[in-house]
Chain A
């Protein structure tokens, strides 16, 4: 068999050939754009400010907010051809200063024209599987913040969907409220946020589409049902009636503030 001898130029030719081949295989990469979702908050017509008694609940109580932590998952982007792009991921948001890095979620998406966004407030089934004994968590076990959302009745799931806590004034008493949402007694209890529409927006390859979401925290206690802190007390993790009101009210709690394209 004749030995093949390679000189400098033949090696160079082979390298150039393979680099063309490689770039051809990555043509799809060139069609990739970026989705950035910003998770912001308000309380009715005011910005969210912690530790200030500046809000008034429909049930009649002045209140202040101390803690806000929640998950979202099962994101979907709606295309102009009526197809849906499923974004199989979750996001953890903690709203205090120290966790400002959780304000944004950034993902690759195909370039295209989109006109709506939907998701789950809480965690979908994939990310909140019931576990037994020493089974692994559904979410990475390397992040303390996720583990802090521990939900102790693990036959239903492992995590709180939301911890929204604060104080309210009832008569002469200053009391605490804890809106802790999660799966309980066989009820999933996460909230499916239906399509939030926006105008047809085209994101080109390499560009970034920024969707700014706003979660109105007052909605949870006001619309359509009035949530009475005094009625439910602060331990509602196994109280399905309280969970049902939060589920119903939370359905209206998100809106899209703006959608913009960054070149």
Chain B
């Protein structure tokens, strides 16, 4: 009998150790999120934190919060005030307006395809998307709000039930707000452009024109040398580069690392949907793709951290027809279906 009791006790101890998450409601049973389009997996590592998998309920809550001015002081701004969903979550302003109409100092980055990103912000200020969202709420120049107020406002607006469905808890916390918005942003995937249909999905109706083909060949050549930073697939490289915008560049990544060798380096922007996300560069100085190519052709400035991929003799010297071809190729990266969503 004693032996049997001993065995029972062991079994009890074993099972009591396996269920230690008592904070989550027993009814919590979220639906895993399925992407509405195929992601060609070979070129796209996905960055999804283990503690924030995408669920239908989380994405829906995040979408709601993203467009809701409740997150800012005086309910003045929402995320969509700058990140326009119709513009691939970018903005066509050089600098958008933040708290009390104050102009931002950087151009608004597109928030499309963040699921492929390791770093966030032009200067890589945030190593996680959740962290970037958390900081936006309290940033004095952006939402200028404090979290206590946000949570009270969300409770008053009846969000407890939505958080319960998304995360299995009635408690609304800053981390859960950030997680929901991050889920929504990671669900925004745009990989269905003419290029994708031709390159990944072998869709014969998406055949390139001779001009687009010429542009793609230049893009992949060491003359154009676009591909070393704008890697085929995501069309960025999760790295930071000084592309020679200025002879005396801004601090850029050095703002975060304090390393002199990082001065002037900014995160490579994705070229997906680039045709509709003007203006360009971290400070939005170029209004058109033609201006961008004129810069890379003839106006690259030397400084001690200039990327070796940039031609140090002023540029890559493109002919006008070559610029036209590269622009034609870049236009194939526009995902009409995604933009119409």
Residues of A whose CB lies within 8 Å of any CB of B are 8, 50-51, 66-67, 133-137, 141-144, 147-148, 150, 152, 165-167, 173-178, 234-235, 237-238
Q: Give me the interface of B with A, judged by CB distance under 8 Å.
A: 3-4, 7, 40-45, 118, 200-202, 220, 222-223, 225, 227, 231-233, 237-239, 260-261, 302, 304-313
Most A CB within 10 A of own CB, among B45, B302, B306: B45
Top 3 A-B residue pairs of the complex, sorted by shortest distance between their CB atoms: A235-B222, A165-B308, A176-B308
Partner among B44, B261, B311 whose Cβ is within 8 Å of the Cβ of A50: B261
Q: How far is the CA of A238 from the CA of B223 in the complex (A)?
A: 12
Q: Can you report 24 A-B residue pairs in the complex whose CB atoms are below 8 A from each other?
A: A51-B260, A51-B304, A51-B305, A66-B307, A134-B202, A136-B42, A137-B42, A141-B41, A141-B42, A141-B45, A143-B45, A144-B45, A147-B43, A147-B45, A147-B231, A148-B238, A152-B220, A165-B308, A167-B308, A174-B312, A176-B309, A178-B308, A235-B222, A235-B225
User: SS class of chain B's interface: helix, strand, loop or mixed?
Assistant: loop
B232 touches A234 (CB 8 A): no
- Quick check: B45 and A134 within 8 Å, CB to CB? no
Given contacts A144-B238, A150-B232, contact A8 B3 (CB under 8 A): yes
Of B40, B225, B304, the contact of A134 (CB 8 Å cutoff): B40
Not counting A133-B202, A235-B225, a sample of 9 additional A-B residue pairs whose C-beta atoms are within 8 angstroms of each other reads: A50-B261, A135-B42, A147-B233, A150-B232, A175-B312, A178-B309, A234-B222, A235-B223, A238-B222
Decide: A144 and B118 in contact? CB cutoff 8 A. Answer: yes
Interchain CA distance A57-B65 in the complex, whole Å? 58
A154 CA to B318 CA, complexed, in Å = 25
A39 to chain B, nearest CB (A): 21
How far is the CB of A185 from the nearest CB of chain B, in Å? 14
* A177–B308 touching, CB < 8 Å: yes
Give Cα distance in the complex from A151 to B4, angstroms: 66
The chain A residue sitting closest to B229, CB to CB, is A148
Residue B227 contacts which of A67, A133, A150, A178 (CB distance < 8 angstroms)?
A150
Cα distance A166–B305 when bound, in Å? 10
> Contact: A234 with B311, CB < 8 Å?
yes
Min C-beta distance of B178 to chain A, whole Å? 23
Q: CA A135 – CA B261 in complex, angstroms?
A: 38
- With CB as the reference atom, state the residue of chain B lying closest to A160: B228
The distance from the CB of A148 to the nearest CB of chain B, in whole angstroms, is: 5
Q: From the candidates A133, A143, A150, A234, name the one contacting B308 in the complex (CB within 8 A).
A: A234
The answer on a CB contact under 8 Å between A67 and B305 is no
Q: Which residue of chain A has its CB nearest to the CB of B43?
A: A147
Chain A residues lying within 8 Å of B238, measured Cβ to Cβ, are 144, 148
| Measured CA separation A51–B7 after assembly (Å) | 66
Residues of chain B within 8 A of A234, CB atoms compared: 222, 308, 311
